[in-house]
């Protein structure tokens, strides 16, 4: 990329961020007041946005393709859930513990799996998920096994805002957690470190020749990403006050990957759009056709992938360029 192209890309990024970075939060606050009956679903969507955002750091920016990200989401969920069952009901410290547990596992596993690429990397990620799934399933006395972990009680946030059956407090809590995580990710991707991640994705050999520690930076972003995935898992456990064995399933790894494809990977806001579009479509189709909703959801996803390459943000970008070109 030439200096002129880099300057244009930077300018376009700034112009886009000027209105996009405020829009998701305006919508999030609007949902709280305008759609009070959907706050439970809204909280689940927010936790999945955070999960997709964590994967975007790996896939969209660094080019690390993995099908084992659910392992870290699930570990975070079980960590927060088990702490609550054991009597530690304070939500914020439970979330931090969930993030720390997943980041620690990410550090240990990253040292091993990031030395591989391609199919080997995919297989190792899947193996981690499979191992954790079987461990959680076999420790029935601790995790509840296939019946799930129940009895997760969460204390009021900051000692004042109790979780209710309508999901009001949990929705605002999830929105605040997502906002803090988004600030962190935004700072990373727009810093020189984040720019180097894009360079590693595009040409790792050239980055090595420039003196950049490719493995070191991939490991750092892997730990950050897995920590955020654990944060999302812990948030999901606290919102639902229940942890299902499905948080460690391959289906979840595939679902979050699909969310990024629909929204647009490597664009920071693709996670917001992809998770929202997929989960709203899933909820609507399940209500309209409880028997064959997966069939219609599959058709919807196929249509999105075939006719909107680059995701929703890719479509918006092309429309914007076409409008500016015709101006």
Q: Tell me, what's the pLDDT at 326?
A: 58
Q: What is the band of 224 on the pLDDT scale with cuts at 50, 70, 90?
A: very high
Q: Tell me, what's the pLDDT at 165?
A: 78
Two tokens, residue 300: 């919807």
CA-to-CA distance for 61 and 217, rounded, in angstroms? 12
CA-to-CA distance for 51 and 61, rounded, in angstroms? 15
What average pLDDT does the structure give for the chain? Answer: 85
| Integer CA distances (angstroms), 237 to 9, 83, 151, 188, 262, in order | 39, 11, 11, 27, 25
Q: Tell me, what's the pLDDT at 308?
A: 72
* pLDDT tens-digit map of 108-135: 999 999 988 888 888 898 899 999 999 9
How many other CB atoms are there within 10 angstroms of residue 238's CB atom? Answer: 31
Q: Tell me, what's the pLDDT at 15?
A: 42
* pLDDT tens-digit map of 67-84: 889 999 999 999 999 999
Q: Tell me, what's the pLDDT at 282?
A: 82
Q: Tell me, what's the pLDDT at 53?
A: 94
Q: What is the band of 258 on the pLDDT scale with cuts at 50, 70, 90?
A: confident
Classify 61 as helix, strand or coil. Answer: helix
Terminal-residue alpha carbon distance, the chain:
26
The pTM score is 0.89
- Span 213-221, mean pLDDT? 92
| Domains of the chain, earliest start first | 3-326 (1.10.3470)
DSSP letter for 267, please: S
Q: Tell me, what's the pLDDT at 150?
A: 87
Q: Are 70 and 256 in contact (CB under 8 A)?
A: yes
HSE-up (13 A, CA, CB side) for residue 301: 20
HSE-up (13 A, CA, CB side) for residue 310: 8
pLDDT > 70 fraction of the chain, expressed in percent and rounded: 89
CA-to-CA distance for 104 and 245, rounded, in angstroms? 21
The yes-or-no verdict on residue 3 having pLDDT over 60 is no
- Span 129-155, mean pLDDT? 89
The yes-or-no verdict on residue 296 having pLDDT over 80 is no
Lowest mean pLDDT of 164-178, 202-216, 248-262, 280-294, name the range: 280-294
CA-to-CA distance for 268 and 18, rounded, in angstroms? 14
């Amino acid at each position: 990329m030439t200096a002129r192209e880099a300057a244009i890309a930077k300018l376009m990024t700034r112009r886009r961020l000027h209105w996009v970075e405020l829009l998701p939060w305006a919508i999030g606050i609007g949902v709280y007041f305008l759609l009070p009956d959907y706050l439970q679903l809204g909280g689940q969507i927010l936790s999945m946005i955070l999960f997709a955002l964590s994967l975007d750091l790996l896939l969209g920016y660094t080019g690390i393709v993995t099908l084992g990200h659910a392992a870290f989401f699930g570990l975070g969920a079980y960590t927060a859930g088990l702490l609550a069952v054991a009597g530690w009901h304070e939500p914020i410290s439970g979330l931090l513990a969930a993030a720390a547990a997943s980041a620690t596992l990410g550090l240990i596993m990253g040292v091993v799996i990031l030395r591989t690429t391609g199919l080997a990397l995919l297989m190792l990620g899947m193996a981690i998920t499979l191992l954790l799934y079987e461990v959680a399933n076999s420790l029935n006395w601790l995790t509840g096994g296939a019946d799930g972990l129940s009895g997760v009680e969460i204390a009021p946030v900051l000692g004042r805002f109790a979780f209710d059956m309508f999901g009001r407090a949990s929705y605002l809590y999830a929105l605040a957690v997502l906002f803090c995580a988004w600030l962190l990710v935004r700072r990373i991707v727009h810093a020189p470190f984040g720019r180097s991640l894009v360079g590693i994705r595009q040409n790792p050999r050239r980055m090595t020749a420039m003196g950049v520690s490719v493995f070191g930076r991939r490991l750092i972003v892997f730990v950050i990403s897995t920590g955020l995935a654990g944060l999302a898992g812990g948030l999901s456990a606290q919102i639902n006050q229940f942890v299902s064995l499905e948080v460690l399933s391959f289906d979840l790894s595939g679902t979050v990957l699909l969310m990024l494809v629909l929204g647009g990977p490597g664009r920071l806001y693709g996670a917001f759009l992809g998770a929202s579009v997929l989960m709203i479509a899933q909820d609507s189709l399940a209500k309209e056709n409880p028997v064959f909703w997966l069939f219609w959801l599959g058709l919807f996803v196929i249509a999105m992938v075939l006719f909107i390459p680059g995701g929703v943000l890719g479509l918006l970008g092309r429309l914007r360029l076409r409008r500016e070109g015709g101006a």
